[in-house]
Amino acid sequence: MKIISILVIYLLIFSFLSGCTIQDKKTIKVSGAFALYPMMNIWAEEYKKIKPDVKIEVSAGGAGKGMSDAILGIVDIGMVSRDIYQEEINQGIFWISVAKDAVVATINTNNPVIEKILLNGLTRQQFEEIFIKRNITTWGQLIGNPTIKDNIRVYTRSDACGAAETWALYLGDYNQDDLTNVADSAINGDPNLAAAIQGDRLGIGFNNINFVYDSTTKKPFEGIKPVPINLNENGFLNENERFYDTRDDIVNSIANEIYPSPPARALHLVTKNNFTDITKDFIYWILTEGQKYVSTSGYIELSEETISEQIIYLERGER
């Protein structure tokens, strides 16, 4: 009788632990880049419709968090919106590219010189003088009107993020620290940086496009405007440089490689060593069926050739 009781208890404990293991295996944990956060939520919702037994937990926190969480094994998937560094590869990081988007400079809609900026745009050098060198310090100086004395207030991100790394790389041979060291204010997260610009008529910052444009109206959110890039640096925007009115316009410009890269860039999903089991199945679905949600969600699809390469990497478990 005592042996039977012990056996029953053992079976109950084994059953409980097995249940926990099975439940854990049905959960995919994802963290990282704000840039991929809206897209990943859409993928998770759609995947749930065909795999209702798989739970996908998604949290944002910046590309740096996604990378560190993946390296430490805290999550199954890290979202990263910048290039993968060699030191991360050396720590066993494996990645798959899944889409593209871009970073844009942003200003307040009540900026004192907004009409001039939207008419003429800013050159890469002007952005560098504002964000890095700080040689342009007033809005009047920017447009050549010394009577306008309003100071430019420069914002950047405080969290380790792909948006800052990508924007810094566009400005020259710089990184996020170069932005942080000279900024007037560093803000945590894409939504908070956008909100800071919406609340400061003299502010300038940068955001991933899906935190600038409303997903319903496709227009910029109230209080914020993307700053056009004067690509040919001729002092005014030509017709083919005017693609900021709607999210669809800028997405098309990125897809057609009119908008420069950087600040356009590929977006990646990373893990330690390689993707396996239900996580691998989910990534495969993203690269195949999941691609139909990319363009309608404000992102840019990768080329068929690139997608095919990513599927081969996924199957091999190495690049």
Question: How much is the pLDDT for 20?
Answer: 38
Domain end position, chosen among 255, 277, 299: 255
Co-location of 219 and 164 in the same domain: yes
- Selection from 45, 73, 38, 86 nearest residue 59 by Cα: 38
- Selection from 200, 118, 160 nearest residue 32 by Cα: 160
**10, amino acid identity:** Y
Question: How much is the pLDDT for 214?
Answer: 97
Question: How much is the pLDDT for 6?
Answer: 39
Question: How much is the pLDDT for 4?
Answer: 40
Question: How much is the pLDDT for 10?
Answer: 39
Co-location of 302 and 224 in the same domain: no
Co-location of 87 and 32 in the same domain: yes
Co-location of 216 and 277 in the same domain: no
Question: How much is the pLDDT for 72?
Answer: 97
195 against 15, higher pLDDT? 195
Res. 107 pLDDT band, cuts 50 70 90: very high
Residue 226 lies in a domain: yes
Residue 92 lies in a domain: yes
Tell me which of 20-29, 143-152, 245-254 is least confident.
20-29
Co-location of 37 and 84 in the same domain: yes
The three-class DSSP label of residue 312 is helix
Distance of alpha carbon 222 from alpha carbon 214, whole angstroms: 9
DSSP string across 197-256: HHT-TTEEEEEEGGGTB-TTT-SBPTTEEEPPB-TT-SSS--GGG---SSHHHHHHHHHT
**Among all chains, which residue has been given the structure tokens 């999210």?**
247
Domain end position, chosen among 203, 223, 255: 255
The CATH code of the domain that includes 225 is: 3.40.190.10
How many domains does the chain fold into?
2
Co-location of 248 and 281 in the same domain: no
- How confident is the model over 176-231, as pLDDT tens digits? 999 999 999 999 999 999 999 999 999 999 999 999 999 999 999 999 999 999 99
Question: How much is the pLDDT for 239?
Answer: 95
- C-alpha distances out from residue 109 to 103, 191, 199, 202, Å: 18, 17, 10, 10
Co-location of 245 and 191 in the same domain: yes
* Segments of the chain assigned E as strands: 27-32, 55-60, 77-80, 93-108, 153-157, 185-187, 203-208, 224-226, 264-272
Co-location of 291 and 157 in the same domain: no
Co-location of 200 and 298 in the same domain: no
Domain span holding position 213 = 103-255
Regarding pTM above 0.85, the answer is yes
Question: How much is the pLDDT for 262?
Answer: 97
Percent share of the chain, pLDDT over 90: 92
8-state DSSP, 82? S
Co-location of 243 and 169 in the same domain: yes
Residue 256 sits at φ, ψ, to 5 deg, of -90, 10
Co-location of 123 and 245 in the same domain: yes
Residue 9 lies in a domain: no
Question: How much is the pLDDT for 11?
Answer: 37
Helix (DSSP H) and strand (DSSP E) numbers for the chain: 13, 9
Co-location of 83 and 116 in the same domain: no
Residue 34 lies in a domain: yes
Average pLDDT of the chain to the nearest whole number: 93
Distance of alpha carbon 131 from alpha carbon 123, whole angstroms: 12
Could you write out the three-class secondary structure of 147-159?
CCCCECEEEEECC
